[in-house]
């Protein structure tokens, strides 16, 4: 006769197997992204990876494909874990990194750098490409404005004991304000500046370098370790503030630190690769349906799913059109938007 302990072991085993399968799929897609859609045939790039091909093949793999794949892996993890933490902190399964207006703030910062500081421009005379006078001016400004947005929201929310509704409404209001200012900037921008603004807002992993990857890795790793250490407290918080407090959880402090880390994680990812839509809400929802709400497994599961979705989307963006790579942010939004609508209508049905 099966005991409760045996049932729990079986459930835990299934969850571990699920995580292992996700990890395997991430590894497979990661390596496929190195060898597919990079301008050469598959086997040439495989030989280049093992230093058995031509020098050009090695350059394509190690200088172009690998930094891009690493960015997809790390940004996918970062946005997914940020989404799952924001959802539990705000007690709203519809929450995501864009909920706090961080994306809008990043776009404003980037546009200011392009317009005022001439951080970059779109050169239509030399093959239509993005020309950066200083490759990190736009990134730094996007990050600074994202951080300012986060600090303002957390500061405003402190007056309301970090009420989830206060955080969400503050984020919506600030996001609308940042969008309005961005629109004004774009209205007065020159044609080349406007093209540069639009180009930057595209989610594009190809602009990432090894240096960018190291910075993203540092922030994502610190955030992930913190979230895993406090996964038991997130389980308690998921049962409600009263239950969490009765179990000794400092709810306000947990919300403050975890929201800050999740937002900073989002800010770093966005400032380097642009806007990646819907990933922060898509990955946690898929994993939650497979694994459940135990954050000891939901956090790493969401991280793996986020990496898998972004790497797969980037791979698709490289092969969907011959000799042309589409912005990966458009691919994630293309699949994420219908899923978002599905969640909305499903919740409505559950309420009826």
Name the token pair of 212: 């960018």
Can you give the pLDDT at residue 128? 42
In a domain? residue 168: yes
pLDDT given for residue 344 in this prediction:
66
What domain count does the chain have? 1
Structure tokens at 6: 């045996």
- In angstroms, the CA 29 to CA 69 distance is 9
pLDDT value at residue 351: 39
Enter the pTM of the model: 0.87
State how far the Cα of 21 lies from the Cα of 9, in Å rounded to an integer. 18
Residue 219 makes CB contacts below 8 A (sequence gap 6+) with 78, 264, 265, 268
In a domain, 320, yes or no: yes
Euclidean distance between CA atoms 326 and 147, whole angstroms: 29
- The list of the chain residues with pLDDT below 70 reads 1-2, 6, 118-135, 160-162, 322-323, 343-344, 346-352
Residue 190 lies in a domain: yes
* Contact indicator for 313, 332 with CB cutoff of 8 Å: yes
Asked if residue 6 is part of any domain, the answer here is no
Q: Is residue 140 part of a domain?
A: yes
pLDDT at residue 56, rounded to an integer:
87
On whether the CB atoms of residues 146 and 79 are closer than 8 A, the answer is: no
Round to whole Å and give the CA distance between 41 and 45. Answer: 7
Whole domain around residue 200: which residue ranges? Answer: 15-351
Quick count: other Cβ atoms within 10 Å of Cβ 114? 29
Is 69 within the bounds of a domain? yes
Is 256 within the bounds of a domain? yes
* pLDDT value, residue 140: 85
In the structure encoding, which two tokens stand for residue 250, read together?
A: 């400092």
Q: Are 248 and 305 in contact (CB under 8 A)?
A: no
What per-residue confidence (pLDDT) applies to 123?
47
Question: pLDDT (tens digit, 9 = 90+) per residue, 291-346?
Answer: 989 999 999 999 999 999 999 999 998 888 766 778 888 888 888 778 777 766 76
Contacts of 67 (CB under 8 A, 6+ apart): 208, 209, 210, 212, 213
Give domain status of residue 5, yes or no: no
Q: Is 165 helix (H, G, I), strand (E, B) or coil?
A: helix
Q: What is the pLDDT of residue 37?
A: 79
Residue 276 belongs to domain with CATH number: 1.10.3470.10
Q: Would you state the structure tokens that stand for residue 341, as one six-digit string?
A: 């609508």
């Amino acid at each position: 006769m099966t005991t409760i302990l045996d049932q729990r072991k079986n459930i835990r085993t299934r969850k571990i197997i699920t995580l292992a399968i996700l990890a395997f799929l991430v590894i497979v897609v990661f390596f496929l992204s190195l060898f597919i859609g990079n301008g050469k045939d598959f086997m040439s790039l495989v030989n280049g990876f093992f230093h058995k091909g031509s020098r050009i093949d090695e350059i394509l793999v190690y200088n172009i494909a690998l930094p891009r794949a690493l960015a997809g892996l790390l940004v996918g993890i970062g946005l997914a874990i940020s989404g799952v933490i924001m959802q539990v902190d705000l007690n709203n399964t519809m929450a995501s990194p864009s909920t706090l207006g961080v994306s809008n703030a990043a776009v404003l910062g980037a546009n200011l750098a392009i317009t005022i500081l001439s951080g970059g421009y779109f050169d239509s005379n030399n093959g239509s490409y993005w020309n950066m006078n200083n490759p990190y001016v736009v990134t730094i400004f996007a990050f600074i404005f994202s951080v300012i947005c986060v600090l303002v929201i957390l500061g405003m929310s402190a007056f309301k004991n970090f009420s989830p509704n206060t955080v969400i409404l503050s984020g919506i209001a600030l996001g609308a304000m940042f969008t309005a200012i961005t629109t004004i900037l774009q209205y007065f921008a020159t044609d080349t500046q406007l093209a540069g603004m639009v180009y930057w807002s595209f989610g594009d992993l190809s602009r990432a370098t090894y240096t960018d990857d190291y910075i993203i890795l540092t922030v994502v790793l610190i955030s992930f370790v913190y979230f895993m250490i406090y996964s038991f407290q997130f389980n308690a918080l998921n049962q409600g503030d009263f239950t969490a407090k009765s179990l000794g959880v400092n709810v306000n402090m947990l919300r403050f630190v975890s929201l800050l880390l999740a937002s900073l994680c989002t800010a770093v990812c966005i400032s380097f690769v642009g806007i990646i839509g819907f990933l922060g809400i898509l990955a946690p929802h898929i994993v939650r349906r497979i694994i459940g709400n135990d954050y000891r497994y939901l956090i790493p599961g969401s991280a793996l799913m986020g990496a898998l979705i972004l790497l797969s989307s980037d791979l698709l963006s490289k092969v969907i059109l011959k000799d042309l790579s589409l912005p990966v942010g458009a691919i994630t939004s293309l699949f994420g938007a219908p899923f978002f609508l599905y969640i909305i209508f499903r919740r409505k049905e559950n309420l009826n």
